[in-house]
């Protein structure tokens, strides 16, 4: 029995917790049984944490005996209890972990809610319901805990009906670990059955490498109701697809099945086992600056740590376990990061994951398309980070292009090479603000006219990785929006000569436009890349785009710009021809600025003075209408005469 030694404190839940509890209670009614899986999973994590800390302080295991999880029920009291003798929590840890959700992903999760019960239940599962799943079946939950290594008088009792607040008090608790008692709602009697609870444990938690204990039916003796054998240690032929799926849900705290997985035993200089998963949806901490989840490292089936750095950052979405045989159990986490054996394991794991993705890309294209939509942006980071695997990663990249402009991005670099025109020497690409801006960019016009395919990119990381890749299978990558237009052998000599003659005719006009725009542009010239649009901006070959400059500035980095853009004008467009013939100085001035501002907008940029743009635009329109009316009136008068 426990005894209260301090007065209760009542604390209100964090606002996000209130929303999450409400959504789970009303959205997961068809998946009630997952509460037991989640609570057992938490208990197993607590045991693993204690086992790791005990490597440095054996006294933590002196009390409490063998690490176990107990599941019990009381039909008269209408309670289900899940208890462990793991690490336990202090009072402050209970407040931090139970009363608050610190993850920035929570806000994104709540923003994603649609009001559609089926869709929302999937989102809840994606987030990972954890402890709060208890409220799916319980109208009151009591948690008692004490952290290993602390006095019995520092136990904690937490209790809540899940409606807006909870109570917390300090108690005397002789046992270390945590006990969660669920007071079941009316109508949840199915969980007051030994056979039903055992069925759920077998279904969801048979793989937990820790004994899960229940009392024998109608007796006081206890028995282990799961295999208590780490799934990754079993032969693959003994493991079914459902076993792999349930283990994923445990290790990743994910409600949804994985997209793909690999299970591999590596023997040689270093012996280790991999059981790694590709999630079907992005984890909510995928874009956190410091993600908290990753692959779990075991040494001879003893949990050491869960660390996103076990794999390169560009594979931070991978979940699962690595179990090594050749690492010392008592090595510190800091030394572990520098361990050469671990480096070999990490390199081997990366090789296996990339092999899995290559198989998906070749044999299960629809599944790989789903992967790319979820994690393609992250995988691109590998081109920058992982020079050893750069070529393999390049083959995994997917794009939209002017050949297949669907936003779903299913064009590979290999596909592109197979469609290159005879004599084409470069892989052409365009980076824009978004898909629509890329698809509609004026920089594509001459390439469309000549039937030359251009890759369309719009992720913030795109400008970085193309610079690091440089070329693919001997073909250099060339931006169509930077530097001089170079079509190599695809250029038309007759067109070039005709262009030179037009340049001579427009020389004076070009000089006047440059004088008006001043230091806004490096140069003004006639374009060979435009066929329909009047103007575009072209950056120097190694200049940062406006978008990249803004990203770097937002990150607090000093930005050194590589010069102003070049304004290119299309001499075949009616606006540019009108500029050539314009004799009114004010109208010439307004047209020059309108052409520049149009080019800025076409790049997805922001105008420095939108009001001036609108004023000039209206003035030019009014002048055009007045001239049209005048011509119309003159024509009508001539007909009457």
Q: What is the pLDDT of residues 399-448, one digit of tens each?
A: 999 987 667 788 999 999 999 999 999 999 999 988 988 999 999 999 99
Average pLDDT over residues 538-567: 71
Side by side, which strands form the sheet with 302-307?
Answer: 260-266, 272-278, 319-324, 295-299, 302-307
Q: Are residues 154 and 15 in the same domain?
A: yes
Q: Are residues 180 and 279 in the same domain?
A: no
Residues 179 and 282 in one domain: no
The pLDDT of 103-109, averaged and rounded, is 45
Q: Total domain count for the chain? A: 3
CB 139 within 8 A of CB 183: yes
Q: Are 451 and 424 in contact (CB under 8 A)?
A: no
Nearest to 517 by CA among 577, 581, 569: 569
Higher pLDDT, 268 or 382: 382
Give 58's pLDDT tier (boundaries 50, 70, 90).
confident
197 & 96 share domain: yes
Report pLDDT for 83.
97
Distance CA 277, CA 296 (A): 12
The residue among 159 and 605 whose pLDDT is bigger is 159
- The CA–CA distances, whole Å, from 233 to 55, 236, 306, 462 equal 22, 9, 19, 41
pLDDT tens readout for residues 369-405: 999 999 999 999 999 999 999 999 999 999 999 987 6
Are residues 329 and 389 part of one domain? Answer: yes
In angstroms, how far is the first alpha carbon of the chain from the final one?
A: 114
Q: Are residues 219 and 248 in the same domain?
A: no
Per-residue pLDDT reduced to its tens digit, 134-180: 888 999 999 999 999 999 999 999 999 988 789 999 999 999 999 99
Cα dihedral 88, 90, 93, 95, rounded to 10, equals 120
For residue 25, what pLDDT is reported? 66
Mean of per-residue pLDDT scores for the chain: 85
Last residue of one domain, picked from the residues 187, 202, 227: 227
Residue 515, in any domain of the structure = yes
- On whether the CB atoms of residues 7 and 169 are closer than 8 A, the answer is yes
* Burial of 394 from C-beta contacts in 10 A (0-12 / 13-18 / 19+): buried
The answer as to whether 383 is a domain residue is yes
Give the DSSP per-residue string, 298-360: EETTEEEEEEGGGS-GGGTT-EEEEEESSS-TT--HHHHHT-HHHHHHHHHHHHHHHHHHHHH
Q: What is the pLDDT of residue 398?
A: 96
Which of 227, 246, 273 terminates a domain? The answer is: 227
Record the tokens describing residue 448, joined without a space: 């469309």
The pLDDT of 545-564, averaged and rounded, is 65
Q: Name the one residue in this structure whose structure tokens are 């803004």.
A: 550
Which of 227, 259, 282 is at the close of a domain? 227
163 located within any domain: yes
The larger pLDDT score, comparing residue 335 to residue 133, is at: 133
Average pLDDT over residues 234-259: 89
Q: Cβ-count burial of 582 within 10 angstroms (0-12 exposed, 13-18 middle, 19+ buried)? A: middle
Q: What are phi and psi of 270, to 5 degrees?
A: -125, 130
CA distance 281 to 257: 9
Q: What is the CATH number of the domain that holds 364?
A: 3.30.230.80
Are 243 and 206 spatial neighbours (Cβ–Cβ below 8 Å)? Answer: yes
- Helical axes 117-127 vs 105-112, angle rounded to 10°: 170
- Tell me, yes or no, whether 274 and 217 share the same domain: no
Tokens for 176, please give them. 């270390």
Question: What's the pTM value of the predicted model, to 2 decimals?
Answer: 0.75
Q: How many helices (H) and strands (E) does the chain have?
A: 20, 23
What confidence score (pLDDT) does residue 553 get?
A: 64
Domain around 379: 236-395
Least confident of 12-26, 244-258, 594-608: 12-26
Overall average pLDDT of the 177-206 stretch: 93
């Amino acid at each position: 029995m426990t005894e209260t030694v301090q007065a209760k404190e009542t604390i209100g839940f964090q606002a996000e917790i209130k929303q999450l509890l409400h959504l789970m209670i009303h959205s997961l009614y068809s998946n009630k049984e997952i509460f037991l899986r989640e609570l057992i999973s938490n208990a197993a994590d607590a045991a693993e944490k204690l086992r790791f800390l005990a490597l440095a302080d054996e006294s933590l295991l002196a009390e409490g005996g063998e690490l176990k999880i107990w599941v019990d029920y009381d039909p008269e009291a209408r309670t289900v209890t899940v208890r462990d003798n793991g690490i336990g929590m202090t009072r402050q840890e209970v407040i931090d972990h139970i009363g608050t959700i610190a993850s920035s992903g929570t806000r994104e999760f709540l923003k994603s809610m649609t009001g559609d019960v089926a869709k929302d239940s999937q989102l809840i599962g994606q987030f990972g319901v954890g402890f709060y799943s208890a409220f799916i079946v319980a109208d009151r939950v009591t948690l008692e805990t004490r952290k290993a290594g602390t006095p019995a008088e520092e136990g904690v009792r937490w209790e809540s009906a899940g409606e807006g607040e909870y109570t917390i008090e300090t108690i005397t608790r002789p046992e270390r670990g945590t006990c969660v008692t669920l007071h079941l709602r009316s109508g949840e009697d199915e969980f007051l059955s030994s056979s039903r609870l055992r069925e759920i444990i077998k279904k969801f938690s048979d793989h937990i490498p820790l004994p899960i204990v229940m009392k024998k039916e109608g007796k006081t003796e206890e028995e282990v109701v799961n295999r208590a054998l780490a799934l990754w240690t079993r032969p693959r032929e003994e493991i079914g697809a459902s076993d792999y799926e349930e283990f994923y849900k445990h290790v990743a705290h994910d409600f949804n099945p994985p997209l793909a997985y690999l299970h591999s035993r590596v023997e040689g200089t270093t012996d280790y086992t991999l059981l790694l998963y590709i999630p079907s949806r992005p984890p909510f901490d995928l874009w956190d600056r410091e993600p908290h989840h990753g692959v779990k490292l075991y040494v001879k089936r003893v949990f050491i740590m869960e660390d996103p750095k076990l794999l390169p950052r560009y594979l931070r979405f991978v979940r699962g376990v690595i179990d090594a045989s050749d690492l010392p159990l008592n090595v510190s986490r800091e030394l572990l990061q520098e361990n050469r054996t671990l480096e070999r394991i990490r390199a081997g794991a990366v090789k296996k994951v990339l092999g899995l993705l290559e198989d998906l890309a070749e044999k299960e294209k629809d599944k790989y398309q789903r992967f790319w939509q979820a994690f393609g942006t992250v995988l691109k980071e590998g081109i920058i980070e992982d020079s050893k695997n750069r070529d393999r990663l390049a083959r995994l990249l997917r794009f939209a292009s002017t050949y297949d402009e669907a936003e779903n991005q299913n064009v590979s670099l290999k596909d592109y090479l197979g469609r290159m025109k005879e004599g084409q020497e470069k892989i052409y690409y365009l980076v824009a603000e978004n898909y629509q801006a890329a698809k509609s960019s004026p920089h594509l016009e001459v390439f469309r006219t000549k039937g030359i395919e251009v890759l369309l990119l719009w992720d913030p990381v795109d400008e970085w990785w193309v610079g690091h890749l440089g070329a693919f299978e001997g073909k250099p990558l060339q931006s169509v929006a930077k530097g001089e237009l170079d079509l190599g052998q695809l250029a038309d000599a007759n067109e070039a000569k005709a262009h030179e003659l037009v340049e001579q005719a427009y020389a004076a006009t070009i000089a006047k436009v440059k004088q008006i725009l001043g230091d806004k542009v490096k140069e003004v010239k006639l374009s060979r890349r435009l066929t329909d649009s009047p103007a575009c901006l072209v950056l120097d070959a190694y200049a940062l785009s406006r978008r990249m400059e803004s990203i770097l500035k937002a990150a607090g980095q000093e930005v050194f710009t590589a010069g102003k853009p070049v304004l290119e004008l299309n001499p075949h467009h009616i606006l540019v021809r009108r500029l050539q013939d314009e004799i009114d100085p004010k109208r010439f001035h307004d047209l020059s600025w309108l052409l520049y501002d149009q080019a800025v907008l076409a790049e997805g940029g922001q105008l420095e003075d939108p009001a001036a743009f609108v004023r000039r635009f209206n003035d030019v329109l009014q002048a055009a209408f007045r001239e049209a009316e005048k011509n119309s009136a003159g024509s009508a008068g001539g007909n009457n005469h």
